[in-house]
Amino acid sequence: MQITLSPTRRDTPLTLSRTGDALTLNGEVLDFTPLPEGATLPREAIASDWFAGPVERVGGTLRLTLVLPHGANAPQETLFPAPLTLTGNGPVTLPPYELETPDAD
């Protein structure tokens, strides 16, 4: 599975995990197993605000673009993220939502 990330300022961070051709985004499961080779599912047909483009299957691999939410103080790796290639199942590590600031105690 290949995921391109589209950084967007949002108040809600994203948690993501993968199981086969299914993605769980903040608890919402979207299963793309039925998408046949060479097919494209347009963004408008996906019942989730986390998608920034269509989902397609090319060469047996799902390709999609997800919104990557970030806070007001996001690091460069979040603002300019590298694409993800997922080969296994489980939680997906995303770039940090925002920079951690030391406590002012």
Q: What is the pTM of this model?
A: 0.90
DSSP readout, 24-49?
A: EETTEEEE-TT--TT-EE-GGGSS-T
Q: Considering the domain boundaries, does residue 104 fall inside one? A: no
pLDDT of 105 strictly over 60: no
What count of other Cβ atoms lies within 10 Å of the Cβ of residue 68?
25
Q: Considering the domain boundaries, does residue 15 fall inside one? A: yes
d(CA 102, CA 94): 21
Q: Considering the domain boundaries, does residue 16 fall inside one? A: yes
State the total domains in the chain: 1
Q: Considering the domain boundaries, does residue 9 fall inside one? A: yes
Q: Supply the range of the domain harboring residue 83.
A: 2-92
**Residue 15 Cα distances to 5, 8, 25, 40, angstroms:** 13, 15, 6, 24
Q: Considering the domain boundaries, does residue 97 fall inside one? A: no
Q: pLDDT digits over 39-88, tens only?
A: 999 999 999 999 999 999 999 999 999 999 999 999 999 999 999 999 99
